[in-house]
Each structure stands twice: as structure tokens, then as C-alpha cells.
Amino acid sequence: MSKLYNTWLGYFLFGICVFSSSLNAKETIHVAAASNFKTVLQTLLQDSPIPGIQVKISAASSGVLYSQIVHGAPFDVFLSADDVRPQALIKEGFASQSSLITYALGELAVWQPNANKVNNKVAIANPRFSPYGQASEFYANANLKKPINYVYGNNITQAFQFVQSGNASVGVVAVSTLKMAFNNSQDPQYLSYKLIPPSEYPEIIQQGVIIKSSKKLASAQKLMDFLMTSGTQLKLVELGYRTKDSNASK
């Protein structure tokens, strides 16, 4: 009798462990995010707002991420810094039209943290791969003193790092990057920037799509839904973006 009791007790405890593990298990989705959005997305997800889902982020320029997806990289979601590449993925059959969202509108600033240090170098993201780079180049060519000695970052984050390190005295960078840097350090140098009016550069429409080959479509959709909630959209405005709603209200 004692042996039978112990056997059933063992099965019972094992069942509880399995049930508990299944409750605590999280499904991981892999997100390809434009470099300007990596730390912002990490901030948005800090308090685990999507139960049961863990988000793994790979960040690079939108052009590089697009190329990786086309060549089979196993991403579930693509959050681009433009509207061209997500829509190209839809046309090419890699992404679903129904999943397309415009999650943010990017903002640019001229950042020169040390007015006494001038080395005639202007840091921008490489326009070949980065939508922020294309918008930055358009603004700089029309508004900055010529000739311009460009220093190209692989993405908008690296352009910011060139100015931060002193390799370039001026940069056209993402407002979100400056705000995240200030939030993390409280260093006032990250607030000494000139906000560029959106009318002075091509609109940076940041769109996202779910990749059709994903095996985690439901979880991917939950992330997209989270990004479009009113609370998240308001937070994005605080973190250095405009949104379609905030744009319409102006």
C-alpha cells in the first residue's frame, strides 16, 4: 500500500511540475528591428506587457535586414525605418499584407554637443541602406554649409556614435537615439540638439510586417497589436517619434 501511495504521489508531483512549467514557458519571437528602434523597443517591453511572449531583437539598418529576410533569415517580424522595404516584402511574397502597420514616424535633429570642436565632418547614416540616412542627406545638402565632408555610419545609431566619440563634430541623428541616451545617463549633452522641422526632409514612415514563414504567427500578431495600442503610441511620442495620430492632431 505504501509503495502504491508513493508511486501515485510521484506521478502527482511530476504532473504539477509539468503543468507549472507549461504555465511559465514563454514563446520566443525573433524581431528584425531598424537600429533606431532597438533600445526603444527594449524600453517598451521592460515590464513584460505581452504575457507569455519573449522578444529577441536583431538590429541593423533597414536595408541590411531586408536583404537578410529575402535570403532566408528566420525572423518572425520586421520593423523597418521605412515603408518601402516592408511593402517590397509583401509584393515579393515574404510578408502578409494584412499584418502591415505604420508604428511610428521618425524625427531628425542636428546634434553638435561641443560647439568649440569643429572638424568639418558631418555624421549621417549611409543613405544606401538607411532611410534615416536618405532623409539626413536630403536635409544636409539643402541646409548645411558646403562643402560637406560626410562620415557615413552603417546605420543611424552608428552616426550618433561618431559624434559621441568626437570623430565627427556634427551629426544628423535620430531624436529617439538622443532621448534614449539622455534617459540612460541624464547627461545634458544629449539634449543640446536642434530639432529639424519634418517639412525639411522626406517623411520617415516606419512600417512593420509579419514574415509569412514564421511558425509563431499568433505571437507575432500580439506584438504588432501591442505597438499600435494608444498607450504605446503615446509612449513613442515621448521617446522621440511622431505617430499618425499625433501628426493628424497638429
Query: Which residue type sits at 198?
Result: P
pTM: 0.86
CATH value at residue 163: 3.40.190.10
- Give the residue, 27 or 4, on which the prediction is more confident: 27
pLDDT digits (tens, 9 = 90+) for 156-168: 999 999 999 999 9
Whether 109 and 242 have beta carbons less than 8 Å apart is answered as no
Residue span of the structural domain in which 145 resides:
108-200
- Kindly state whether residue 5 falls inside one of the protein's structural domains: no
pLDDT level of residue 146 (50, 70, 90 thresholds): confident
In this structure, the answer to whether residues 99 and 133 fall within a common structural domain is no
Which residues lie closer than 8 Å to 127 by C-beta, 6 or more apart? 133, 134, 136, 137, 152
119 and 238 fall within a common domain: no
Comparison of pLDDT for 22 and 100, the residue scoring more: 100
**From residue 11, how far is each of 2, 4, 22, 23 by CA, in Å?**
14, 11, 17, 18
Q: Which of 139, 159, 145, 245 is nearest to 202 (CA)?
A: 139
| Residue 223 domain flag | yes
Residue 21 shares a structural domain with residue 97: yes
What is the maximal distance between C-alpha atoms in the chain? 93
33-80 pLDDT tens trace: 999 999 999 999 998 899 999 999 999 999 999 999 999 999 999 999
Residues 34 and 86 in one domain: yes
**How confident is the model at residue 247, as a pLDDT?**
62
Q: Are residues 120 and 167 in the same domain?
A: yes
pLDDT score recorded for residue 248: 53
- The total domain count for the chain is 2
Mean pLDDT of the chain: 90
